[in-house]
Amino acid sequence: MSLWLWIIAGACLGIIAPPLIAWLMCRSRRTAREGLSGKGLRLTDGLTHVTVDGLEGRPVAVLVHGLTTPSWVFDAIAAGLVVQGWRVVRHDLWGRGGSAMPGKPQDRALFVRQLSEVIEAEAGEGPVLLVGYSMGAAISAAYAEAYPGRVRGLALLTPAGLGHRLDGFTRFCAATPLVGDWLWATFSGIGMRRQSRQAAVRQGPSSTENMQARMALETRTRGYRRAVLSSLRHMLAEDMAPTLKALDERGLPMLAIWGGEDGLIGPRPTKKLARVSPGAGQATVEAAGHGLPHTHPREVLKALTGFGAGL
């Protein structure tokens, strides 16, 4: 073999090996489902992990989690809503928790279809209260626009889609196909675990048991990091202001709950929401960061109690 062929072979190995090793070191999605409560629901795009709490016949609240944290981020809020008299349905978005990772762009259409099929299967015939966290708030708003008759109220916890801050590495990977994919597949797990540790220090104790360890395990699950990157490029790249404006004009009751110390979202989206949806209520938990649902569930539940009582 000539020197150039050796060089080319070495270069190819250097390109392929790092992401391949990272992938081989991850657990399978089947393994990720082991030990989870709830059930698997076969939908159009694959298997979705769903958890339902509360008694049948009660009004239904559907909780939609965000970009990185699976539906267990709502454990405390779900328990509180059940005590308040709700039947609570929550599911893992594609590539997170116990749900499959379909080979499709993680855009509005994919997520709305998943949410629609979960609601049709588990929420009965009446309208539901939608509670969306971060990217889940954007998904919930998109669903409410597509299915207005199925939503009685929309609660947005630190909602994405009105502006957010990303670190340079994430921003580059999301904006750069191929090179960004390689860098993300190789290095994002390390960065995401570091950010999770830093967030735990900044935001304080979590109501979710073993939060850091569970998030670290997510980053070591096949399909998870790819799902996050695809969501950054599609669902989170969409400006949700037109959708929220349309929902406000339609008269849908809405409440946004923000974290006063949220470094990911920042203060500008609160002003943007007030401008595009003047009828939406807004509340701020001053001491909370972006982990609001699991670091300050009592404050969230208090706000949701008042909101739900008026629906």
Question: Using CA atoms, how far apart are residues 112 and 150, in angstroms rounded to an integer?
Answer: 13
Question: Is pLDDT of 273 > 90?
Answer: yes
Q: Would you say 76 and 297 are in contact if contact means Cβ atoms under 8 Å apart?
A: yes
Question: Using CA atoms, how far apart are residues 117 and 132, in angstroms rounded to an integer?
Answer: 16
What is the enclosing helix (H) or strand (E) of 274? helix 268-276
Question: Using CA atoms, how far apart are residues 228 and 106, in angstroms rounded to an integer?
Answer: 9
Which range in 9-13, 37-41, 144-148 is most confidently predicted, on average pLDDT? 144-148
Residues with Cβ within 8 Å of 302's Cβ and at least 6 positions away in sequence, in order, are none
pLDDT tens per residue across span 176-230: 999 999 999 999 988 888 888 887 777 778 888 888 889 999 999 999 999 999 9
Q: Please report which confidence band the pLDDT of residue 18 belongs to, taking 50, 70 and 90 as the band edges.
A: low
Q: Is the dihedral of CA 284, 290, 293, 297 positive or negative?
A: negative
Question: Is pLDDT of 302 > 90?
Answer: yes
Residue labelled with tokens 């993680």: 106
User: Average pLDDT of 78-104?
Assistant: 96
**Averaged confidence pLDDT in the chain:** 90
- Give the domains, in start order, of the chain with CATH numbers: 3-309 (3.40.50.1820)
Tokens of 6: 């050796």
Q: First and final CA of the chain: distance in angstroms?
A: 75
Question: Using CA atoms, how far apart are residues 147 and 287, in angstroms rounded to an integer?
Answer: 35
